[in-house]
Structure 1
Amino acid sequence: MSSRIRKCPSGYEKRQKKKKKKLDESLKGSLDVFFVKEPKVSSENQSVDANTNDVHDDDSIHTETQGEEVNVVSNMDEVHVENNNPDEANHGDEVPANVDVSLQPDIFDPRNWDGLDSKAIDNLVEKGPKRAPIQKGHKDKLGRRFSAVFYSRGLPNGEMCDREWLVYSKELNRVFCFCCKNFGKGRARGHLANEGFSDWIHLSIRLREHETGAEHLQNMVTWHELRLRLQQNKTIDSAARQQLEKEKDHWRKVLLRILLIVKFLAKHNLAFRGTNSKLYQDSNGNFLGLVEMLAEFDPVIQEHVRRITNDETHTHYLGHGIQNELIHLIASAIKSEIIKKIKEAKYFTVILDCTPDASHQEQMSLIIRYVETSSSSVSVVESFLGFLDVNDTTGK
């Protein structure tokens, strides 16, 4: 008795079923763009088989078997061609594997404008907003829809002016204000600068109110000024980048000259510092003296010294700290080169000698004697690698 009871779905279930059916219909055929349709196999073999059956039964069996063989061979040829060129298959439809589409949002889609960074906005402004090639949009519940007529504005003198700031989103079925959406400060007023406007009945009135507003006019000025600066490559970011690159190049040249001074003094075993550590004062040492000498004719050091004397910079790289650091770096580079040559020579001799310094501390000098073969002529070289502290001289 209970099996005959008819159970009707509820209204909620019916609505969900109707909604799912409508969604499936809208997605129908959306996957076809990712596949290449193969041409249909010709039915010539089948027609040959049918004609042969009318002639003779024995011939029909033979012809039918032959037709099957031809069909199999043709299919094998298709498979063979696809396997020989796996990289060329669907070349025009496949997305490269190393390209992540999710990380490359469409900057022209109003749905992505809220998440654009400054670089993407500059790119969008330089290329300009794109309008969908559409004359009429989707109908709403009242049967009204967007029309391309709204892209133009009629002036009182009869002229037509293009609303270049108006952008229609086909996916959202809404219109947006390009300049207010991207250049509005804070929470802008109106749907055109936020989630979009879709009240097609009052669209004409809303557009007239929006394009005459002070906030919209200010955003229009910002938009056009940025576009002009981008075209002339005179943006604030561009000027800042150029100034930054100029400063980086200046400091590279300054450090190069300081490094050469350190190398010269160390090579000739000359003292670096004197009793004074200021420029253009007596007894300031060989290092600062060479800096003063270069400032007489070298424009880089001349500009560097000018900044120091005018207190325009407190980072001058002329103190004893940077001198010791550069000496240590040069010594490490020289030691690495010597060790490299010793490893290439394979056979070497270690020479150790102890000598007390001024504080009567025993120091052992480490010298390596080896045959240098890097040059055209073979020569015996002795290289000093440093001092070793000796704590005990008893010989035990």
Structure 2
Amino acid sequence: MYDLLGDLSIIEASSFVASPTAGLYCAQFGAEVIRVDHKAGGLDYDRYMLTREGRSLSWENLNRGKKSVALDLRSDEGRELLVEMTRKTGNVITNLPEKSFLSHAAMSRGRADLVSLRVMGWHDGRQAMDFTVNAASGYPLMCGPEEWEAADPPPVNQVLPAWDFITGAYSAFALLSGIRHRDRTGEGSELRVPLGDVAIGTMANSGAMAEMLYRGGDRERLGNAIWGAFGRDFRSRDGVRFMVAALTAKQWQGLVGAFDLGNEIVALEDELGVCFADGDTPRFAHRHRLFALFETKAGALPWADLEARLSAAGATYERYRTMHEAAQDPLLVEGNPLFGPSPANPSGFAYPATRSFANIPGREPADPRPAPFLGEHTEAVLAERLGLPSGAIGDLVDRGIARLSDRK
């Protein structure tokens, strides 16, 4: 946690992954992010997996460091309170539909310099989520074993909702760009980030769209091999699976040295009339011959020996871990300054929590902050943002328009 955005306040009315991620990243850099939910919790409040106490670990982590306000967003009065909060604050993150009570037009009435960021499904208003836009992108039909050359091989979905997280990161960038523009010009901005455009746009930015159009067809499945370069998974003599990659001459020489394949590589180069140190193209074109050499060597050595060799050679490699193993790995977690001590989580479960992904040399990051209890800051925010006296807030609570903390 850093205080680079300590003078910035943002109202967030959102759910699920992409939109809350945008607010999370702003909060990790010190912004005051006030998440406003329906009084019973948003659509993601009880998202799987739940602890025995019924707390969502997903919600807890995507809302770390934020404040929580709970209102009856099905009532006109609750909605009006939220809209007024956005006007008072001037910065909004949401994934509610544009044609809703939280439209930019409604929020900016009387606040022309308001900056709103809206995460959408598709650019034309159709609904979407990570796994549906991923299906449209073509990536699942490029994944799977190389030997899947049947007439109709199945798609392979990725487990990580990557498009959601990329959209969240891009949305935080877009929001801050809008705020920067307002700082220079005094103008507000309505910013819309369609999840589908992030997926298709990323596919285009990577060069994959141009590649498919140029080749006039789809790329073949490669299993765990790296497209266009040298890299693949191998198994040691004692059954440890690991991944290696060589995209540079230095990485290639490190791998060859670690596997002690110098003589075999020279012989193969002479046979094929190529030089594998020249770049990705010869290594990728002849990957199957190279894989066979590395596979034989890997299968003859225990992992301890291989790891020592790879490390000494400065090679680029990593052992495969289960996610449970990764969560307990001393190098990845315990010894990583990304993680701080567990705050007092609403779930009551203690576990490592992340600071900002970026680090600033010379600045000590603050420890991670906990997620709020639903409605924990309702009273304070209504008083500070809207200037409501305690009696008026008490009346809202009594009538079910506002809800205080759900801490039990």
Q: Give the TM interval when normalised to the shorter protein.
A: under 0.3
- Rg: which structure is higher? 1
TM-score by length of 1: 0.20
Structure 1 or 2: larger helix share? 1
TM-score by length of 2: 0.19
Query: Which structure has more RCO (C-alpha within 8 Å, separation ≥ 6)?
Result: 2
